[in-house]
Chain A
Amino acid sequence: DSGVTQTPKHLITATGQRVTLRCSPRSGDLSVYWYQQSLDQGLQFLIQYYNGEERAKGNILERFSAQQFPDLHSELNLSSLELGDSALYFCASSVGREANYGYTFGSGTRLTVV
C-alpha cells in the first residue's frame, strides 16, 4: 500500500458518458497529480493541484476537469467519453509544489469505454 488511494479500480462505461475518478493523497502530501497512461501515448501528465489550487496543466482535454477539496482529496471528471479515453489513470502525490521530490503513485483506475 503506497498511501495513495484511488477509486474505483476498474470502470467500464459507454461512449458519451461521464465518470468521476477519486484520489486520496498520502498523508502530509499537499500536491496531487493526475496522469493518463495508454499504450500509444505513454504516461501523459494531465494536471496538478497544490493545497487546493491548480498549479500546473499538461495535456488535459477540455472534456476533462479536476479539483482538489479542502481535505486534499482530488477528483478527475471525464465527460463525453470517447473510445480513445480508455486508459489507466493514475493519481500521484508529493509533499511540495515543485517536482523536486519523489512522487507516490496510487494503483490506478483502469477505464474502459465501450
Chain B
Amino acid sequence: SQQGEEDPQALSIQEGENATMNCSYKTSINNLQWYRQNSGRGLVHLILIRSNEREKHSGRLRVTLDTSKKSSSLLITASRAADTASYFCATDSNQAGTALIFGKGTTLSVSS
C-alpha cells in the first residue's frame, strides 16, 4: 500500500530556528495532510493540501507539494519548545474506498 515516508526521522533545533520536514509518497494522490502528535497523545490535524495546490500556509506552517516528484515539505518557522512533537504526513489515494495512510513520522525536538 502507498505510504508517505518522512525525512529526517529525527530533527533537533534551537528555539527560533526553522524546521523543515520532508515527505515522499509512491502513487497518485488527491490530497496530502500533515499531523502532529505529542508524546503518547492523539494526532492533531495541521494542514491539508490538495493535488492541484503547490503551497499552503497556516500561521507559522508552510506546506509545499510537488506532485511531479511525489514529495511534500512542512516548514515550521520560528520554532518554539511547544513545537516538540512527532510530525506525520498522510496520503489518500485517487482510488475510491481508501483511508489515509500515514508515514512513520519525524520526531522534532526544539530546545530553549
A: residues with CB less than 8 A from B are 2, 4, 33, 35, 42-43, 45, 48, 55-56, 58, 88, 90, 92, 98-108, 110
Contacts and interface: CB of A to CB of B under 8 A. Distances in A.
Interface stretch (B20-28, B70-78, B96-104): B96-104
Contacts of B96: 98
A78 B13 CA distance: 41
Contacts of B93: 99
Contacts, number: 67
Given A55-B97, A99-B99, A105-B35, 15 more contacts: A2-B42, A4-B42, A33-B99, A42-B102, A43-B43, A43-B105, A56-B99, A88-B40, A92-B43, A98-B30, A99-B93, A100-B92, A102-B45, A103-B45, A108-B40
A108 B30 contact: no
Nearest to A46: B99
Contacts of A106: 42
A43 B31 contact: no
B41 A102 contact: no
Contacts of A55: 97, 99
Contacts of A104: 45
11 contacts: A4-B42, A42-B102, A42-B104, A55-B99, A56-B98, A58-B99, A99-B30, A99-B100, A103-B45, A105-B43, A108-B41
A35 to B, nearest CB: 8
Given A33-B99, A42-B102, A43-B102, A99 B45 contact: no
Contacts of A99: 30-31, 92-93, 98-100
Nearest to B105: A42
Contacts of B48: 101-102
Interface in B65-112: 88, 92-93, 96-105
Nearest to B31: A100
